[in-house]
Amino acid sequence: MKTIQSDNYPIYFDNSIAELVKFIKQGKYSRFFILTDEHTSVHCLPAITDQLVDMDYYDLIEINAGEESKDIDFCIGIWKMLIDFGADRKSLMINLGGGVISDMGGFAASTFKRGIDFVHVPTTLLSQVDASVGGKTGIDINSIKNIIGTFTQPKAVFIDYDFLKTLPARQILSGLAEMLKHGLITDAAYWDALKKSDLNNPSVELIHWSVEIKNKVVIEDPTEQGIRKALNFGHTIGHAVETNSLLNDKKKALTHGEAIAIGMICEAYLSHKKAGLSLDELNEITTVINGLYPKYNIPESSFDNLLALMLKDKKNQNGQINCTLLTHIGQFSIDNICSGHELCESLKYYTSL
């Protein structure tokens, strides 16, 4: 696969681990640090450390897996370990893991000593097509997702398709939601290609295509002032559903992609009501997504809590809930203010399926 050039950094697909080792050596870093969780330490870290036999100037930092770790307390723990290990401004952070590792590792690095270099080695489908690309870093506070963060670009991204072989099927589907979103917002041909493919086992070519779509958007609008808001499709409602599930379902909580899938169905319904999406297109989107993801129970008694979570969303304007909607499959409309009544109607649409 061809290397993709993003905003001043490369995204490698071929021989990515060898390219990472070359990058470290050429960077002449004083030290480097590998941030992992307990899963990537077992399944993915050896693929890197086996190539570092002649490089002993690094340390490992491991955190607990899961969204619950993406908060200020764990971030402080990372900063303290960097201090204890003697990190300076010529140090490098390697974020080896999924979306939590990419988001929090990028945030910790971008703020430590006012910023040290970092790279992403995404090991989940979600992080390969979404979290590792675009320069967003972030942590959660009071279960509000990514409410604290920076726009800071990595120095490089190294995507290794083989890491996906270590994932359970549920995590593949979680990442697939973002790929479906990329087709829905800007590329109807990609949406059609996904529909015709084995959606339980996306090919490296489809992953590469997805990264190209996101990369094109973020290059045009790196700080989310305009077109980049398209990437929020499904996320206003989806993030609220995800947060509510994390708070109430504990060990059985929805994955990010499962929640975004719900959000995309709801916001496709709003697109039909408010932005001109045809009924045929709404039915197509609903059928495809609903056929991939298990139905999740959202009782009407939870709607007020979900609306309260949506009101805390960082994309809102003047205290009003702001959604990205679709005018057609492959075309988007940003900055659509949605009322509480409309949002509840969209949730009822999902629950009625």
Known active-site residue 256:
yes
Known active-site residue 224:
yes
Known active-site residue 212:
no
Q: Which of 120, 235, 242, 322 is catalytic?
A: 235
The length of the chain in residues reads 353
Known active-site residue 178:
yes
Q: Which of 136, 181, 229, 272 is catalytic?
A: 136
Q: Which of 39, 67, 146, 178 is catalytic?
A: 178
Please provide the DSSP assignment of 185-231 as one string.
Answer: HH-HHHHHHHHTS-TTS--HHHHHHHHHHHHHHHHH-TTSSSGGGGG
Q: Which of 181, 208, 228, 272 is catalytic?
A: 228
* Side chain identity at residue 349, one-letter code: Y
DSSP 8-state assignment for residue 275: T
Known active-site residue 182:
no
Task: Give the chain's largest Cα–Cα span.
Answer: 62
Known active-site residue 239:
yes
Query: Using CA atoms, how far apart are residues 267 and 230, in angstroms rounded to an integer?
Result: 12
Known active-site residue 114:
yes
Q: At what angle do helices 279-290 and 169-186 cross, to 10 degrees?
A: 160
Q: Which of 114, 165, 196, 341 is catalytic?
A: 114
Q: Which of 256, 267, 272, 336 is catalytic?
A: 256
- For 297, the 3-state DSSP assignment is coil
Known active-site residue 136:
yes
Enumerate residues 6+ apart whose C-beta is below 8 A from 310. Answer: 236, 237, 239, 240, 316, 321, 343
Known active-site residue 232:
yes
Q: Which of 120, 182, 239, 272 is catalytic?
A: 239
Q: Which of 95, 146, 215, 232 is catalytic?
A: 232
Query: Using CA atoms, how far apart are residues 17 and 22, in angstroms rounded to an integer?
Result: 9
Q: Which residues are catalytic?
A: 114, 136, 178, 214, 224, 228, 232, 235, 239, 256
